[in-house]
Each structure stands twice: as structure tokens, then as C-alpha cells.
Amino acid sequence: MRGPHNIWRLIRTGATFERTGAMGVALDAVDAPPRLRMAARMLGWPFRWLGYKGDPNLPPVTRAITALGPAYIKFGQILSTRADVVGTELADQLRMLQDKLPPFPTEAARQIVEVELHQPVDLIFSEFSEPVAAASIAQVHRATLRGNGKDVAVKVLRPGIEAAFRRDIDAFHFGANLIERLLPATRRLRPRDVVSHFESVVSGELDLRLEAASASEFYENTKEDAGLALPLPDWHLSSRRVLTADWAEGIPLGDRRAIMEAGHDTVDLGRRVIQLFLQHALRDGFFHADMHHGNLKVAANGDLIVYDFGIMGEIDEYTRRVYAEILMGFIQRDYRRVARVHFEAGYVPRDRDEAEFARALRVVGEPIFGADASQISMAGLLSYLFEVTERFGMQTRTELILLQRTMVVVEGVARSLDPQLNMWESARPVVTDYIRDNLGPRAMAQDARRIAQTISRYAPLLPQVVDQALWNRIHRAEIEAAPPPLRAPLGWIAATCLAVGMAVGLLLN
């Protein structure tokens, strides 16, 4: 329940932020008003001694979040891409969060595997390693299948992680409600929706069967994509808390020197990361939403290996078209087009000035063109863009949170491979192809065909729908024209006649 008992968890959170020195940094970053500062201090300062100490080698906010546990780490990672919520300076600090925690004992992992797969580990695997990676929700072991000698990755959820996340997410909901009540101005940023979005993301990660399903669907969508490789799940050796998949052998994408020494083209890799992400988002509407360095490798043949499908993004076809038009408008420097799309999609209230909005967008786009990539401050551009959204009354689009977050992460990965990479030039061919296929005459013909198919599917019902609509309209008019004492009887008579007529019609058919 999201009740007052969560106050204790918020007090412990506030105490930890006070003890680590993160409270002031966080309040300054969001330019908190006096009422919120006072409430935060009341929750933190008197109970400072109850707070976790954390790692003193980390920056204050990162230190506090890592001390508070897995749910806070995961939430901090998501907030690191929401500079509109926490400010650009704090967002930069939160990006330092590493999705790593000390591993839990291998013996505990083996016990979970045995319970989940209903047989001893030694009967399934000839080798089962110590943890090779430990994250906030699960850890990974390298293992060898008994019989065929195939190397696999075995992902195991942390013991008790489900209950821990439920407890913390409950407190997040309580805190978001409290913030919206204390600060009505924050409703534009929809903190409750942000927490709900976070809850849905984490809920998917806590059931590894869903991750296996995502990997399988992603493979079906992308199996024809050149230069991309995916480790597939082993459904017979997977369950809610255990996932077994192909072992992904390659050089981590964060090791640029090793990639260059192996003879791979880092410029091409950087461009490919951007283009593959956009292809999946625009073409399929289903994309990997956690494409940081830790989930990407380079195979010996140069293929980009993508793994860990715990967080996936999905956007509908209409939103994909809107997003593509906005991207193309920026690429072509047609800011009136970008502004018009925002208004048509309802992203900006109709009472705002479209021409003024277009000029504000020009300030975002123009510095990108004709400038060396190293001269472009994405933090500065994002900061200004968030000012624009506030000035024009734009609300947070929760359906685009993962897309926006992943776009920022993907660009950072691509830039680490090619510091001179221009995101817009890399995106141009993908967006152009999508618009040609989905916004041109061919797309109009496909839409018309789908509409015709939908109508034809319901054609047998149309006569009945028309008859019912005409009957309702005629008899509603008669009832409204009748004197008040007669309206109720006429209504009953009309309903009875309609029921009898439908019954007779069904019998005749």
C-alpha cells in the first residue's frame, strides 16, 4: 500500500542524502522552492545518523543512491537521462552510476538454478563459473553445457530482489504523490507517470522469461540486418528467475583501444550503432532500450553483438511517423515543419504561437550544422530544449521516455568510438528511407488497403449497425417530442422492439 508507512523509507532516504552531502546538491539541481527544501530537511537532518554512509570516493548524489540499493541505482540511471527533471549538472553526475553491485555467492546462484530448473546444476553444466558480471537485479555466470560442450551465459536474479523492488517502488509512488501535492508546478513533468514508467520497466526485468521473449522477438525482427549478431535464449533452460542464452564472445564496446588493435573500424562501428538503433525504433517500433557499453561487443568478424534484453522499448506506428518527421525536419533544417508536427501531434498546446516555437527550435538545431562534433555541447542543447518545452507548456511524453533515454545513451556510445561523429548525418539515410516507405504515396496506398481490409472484415455487421443507429435516432426523437409522462413508457417500448427485432433477425440469418 502506498500509505504513510512509506514515510519511514523516505526518512531513511533523506537521512542518507544528508549524511552523504547529496541533499543540497539535489535540491540546488532542481532549483527546489523553499517549501520543498524545508520538507526535505525535516525528513533528513534530524535523522542524519540513520542514513547510510556510502562510498566516500563517489560524488555525493551517486554515493547516496548506490548506498540505498538496487532500486535507487536503477531509478538513478533513468533519471540520468531526464535533465528536464533533475537539471543537466545532476544528470551528468547520475550518468556516472555503474550498473554494478557486489555479487552474491555462487552457491546461492546454484541453488536458485536447481530450484528453477528442477535438476542439479552438475547434471546440466559441466562447468559453472564464478560471477562474470553483477548488476542491480541479476548476475551472470559463464557455463558449459554437459553433452555438447556449448558455452552459455546463465543469468540469475538476486535473492529477494522482487520484494526489495516492490518496497522501494511503493515509496517512490508515495514520494511522487507528495511532490505533486506540495509543488503543483511539477505536474507538467508528471513525476507520478515517470515512477509508473519506471515500475513497468523494472517489472519486465524481474521476469527473465519476458527477457527471453524479447530476445526472440528482437531476433525475428533483425535477423536480416547486416553486421548485427544476437545471443539466443535456451527456452528449456530458462525460467522466471533463470535465463540461459548463447555466450557472446567479443571485445567490449567500451574498450576502444582493443577494438582498434583488432583491426576494426571504429568510425564505421559508431555510425552503425546509431543507424541500427534508428532502424529498430522506426522500422519495427521495438528496440533495445539499454544500449550502453556493457551490453555491446564486437565479434571477431566485425559484427556488433547486442545482448541483455531486459529493457525494451516499443512505440506505435503513429508515434514513429511523428518522430521520423521531427528528425527529418531537423536534418533538413526545416524548423517550421518540426513545429507544425509538434502542434499536429498535440505535443504543444494549440494556443501557443507556431512561428515562435519554430524560432526556438532553430536555436536547438542550428549549432549542430557546420560545426565540428567536438564543438557541440549536447548538454547545452538539451538544457535549452528543456527550457523551450517549459516555455511552451509541453508535457512529458511518457511513451517517448525510453526512446529519448536510449537516443542519448546510443549517441554517447557512438561518440566514444568516433569523437567526430555527427549524429544527424548518420541518421539521415535511415530516416530518409523510413519516410520514403511510410510517409509517401506507397504508405498512403498501404494505409488505404488496411482501412479497406478492416471495413471488409466488419462488413457483415454493417447492416445491423446501421439499422440500430437509425432506430435509436428515430425513436430518440419521438421520445424527446413526447410529453414527459409518456417518455419512460416509450423508452421501454423502443427497447423491447429493438430486442425482438434483433432476435428475429438472428433467427432468420
Helical H runs in 155-223? 161-182, 191-205, 208-222
The size of the chain, in residues, is 509
**What mean pLDDT is predicted for residues 203-229?**
92
> pLDDT-derived band of residue 368, with 50, 70 and 90 as boundaries?
low
Confidence of residue 501 (pLDDT cuts 50, 70, 90): very low
Determine the average pLDDT of the residues in 172-182.
79
Question: Of 84, 168, 170, 290, which is the active-site residue?
Answer: 290
Reported as a pLDDT band with limits 50, 70 and 90, residue 116 is very high
* pLDDT-based confidence at residue 333 (cuts at 50, 70, 90): confident
Domain ranges of the chain: 6-100+162-203, 249-457, 460-508
Q: What is the pLDDT of residue 443?
A: 62
Alpha-carbon distances, residue 319 vs 128, 144, 175, 284, 358 (angstroms): 45, 43, 30, 12, 20
Can you give the pLDDT at residue 215? 95
Q: What are the backbone dihedrals phi and psi of residue 412, each rounded to the nearest 5 degrees, phi first?
A: -65, -40
The average pLDDT across 186-192 equals 67
Q: Which residues pair with 305 in a beta bridge?
A: 229, 297
Collapsing DSSP to helix, strand or coil, 428 comes out as: helix
CB neighbour list of residue 140: distance below 8 Å, 6 or more residues apart: 131, 132, 133, 134, 153, 154, 155, 156
Task: Give the global pTM.
Answer: 0.71
pLDDT score of 167 more than 60? yes
Is the pLDDT at 130 greater than 90, yes or no? Answer: yes
Environment class of residue 106 by beta-carbon count within 10 Å: exposed (0-12), middle (13-18) or buried (19+)? middle
Sequence-distant contacts of 220-228: CB under 8 A, at least 24 apart: 221/280, 221/284, 221/286, 222/276, 222/280, 222/284, 225/276, 225/279, 227/272, 227/276, 227/302, 227/303, 227/304, 228/276, 228/303, 228/304, 228/306
pLDDT-based confidence at residue 282 (cuts at 50, 70, 90) = confident
pLDDT of residue 490: 43
Round the average pLDDT of the chain to a whole number and report it: 78
Among 25-39, 209-223, 265-279, 490-504, where is mean pLDDT lowest?
Answer: 490-504
* Cα(321)–Cα(137) distance, integer angstroms: 34
pLDDT at 179: 75
* pLDDT of amino acid 87: 63
- Ramachandran bin of 336, using left for φ above 0, alpha for ψ from -120 to 50, beta for the remaining angles: alpha
Least confident residue range of 262-271, 400-409, 416-425:
400-409
Phi, psi torsion values for 245, nearest 5 degrees:
-145, 170
Distances (CA, A) of 410 to 159, 271, 402: 31, 10, 12
pLDDT score at 180: 76
- Nine cell digits for residue 116: 528453477
pLDDT of 503 reads 42
pLDDT (0 to 100) of residue 144: 97
Sequence-distant (6+) residues with CB within 8 A of 241 are 112, 116, 156, 157, 208
Q: Is 386 a residue whose pLDDT tops 90?
A: no
Confidence of residue 481 (pLDDT cuts 50, 70, 90): low
Whether residue 206 contacts residue 157, with contact meaning beta carbons closer than 8 Å, is answered with yes
For the sheet with 296-298, list strands across it.
228-229, 304-306, 296-298, 251-252
Cα distance between residue 225 and residue 275, in whole Å: 11
Res. 83: pLDDT tops 80: no
The one-letter amino acid at 461: L
The per-residue pLDDT for 272 is 93
Contacts for 483 with CB less than 8 Å, ≥ 6 apart? none
- In this predicted structure, what is the pLDDT of residue 499? 44
Query: Which of 128-142, 177-191, 301-315 is the least confident region?
Result: 177-191
- The single-letter code of the amino acid at 56 is P
Pairing outcome for strands 151-157 and 138-145: antiparallel
CA distance 112 to 156: 7
Highest mean pLDDT among 88-97, 107-116, 332-341, 482-491: 107-116
Contacts for 258 with CB less than 8 Å, ≥ 6 apart:
251, 252
| % of the chain surpassing 90 pLDDT | 26
What does the pLDDT read at residue 458?
66
User: Residue 65's pLDDT band (boundaries 50, 70, 90)?
Assistant: confident
Comparing 70-74, 237-241, 459-463, the range with the smallest average pLDDT is 459-463
Query: Pairing between strand 296-298 and 251-252?
Result: antiparallel
How is 321-369 classified by DSSP, letter by letter? HHHHHHHHHHHTT-HHHHHHHHHHTTSS-TTS-HHHHHHHHHHHHGGGT
Residue 170 pLDDT? 84
The model's confidence at residue 342, banded by pLDDT at 50, 70 and 90, is confident
Q: Is 290 a catalytic residue?
A: yes
* pLDDT surpasses 50 at 506: no
SS3 at position 443: helix
Mean pLDDT of 283-307: 91
Q: For 445-468, what is each residue's pLDDT tens digit? A: 666 666 766 666 666 776 777 777
- Confidence at residue 38, expressed as pLDDT on a 0 to 100 scale: 74
**Is the Cα dihedral 396, 400, 406, 407 positive or negative?**
negative
What are the tens digits of pLDDT across the range 354-366? 899 889 888 877 7
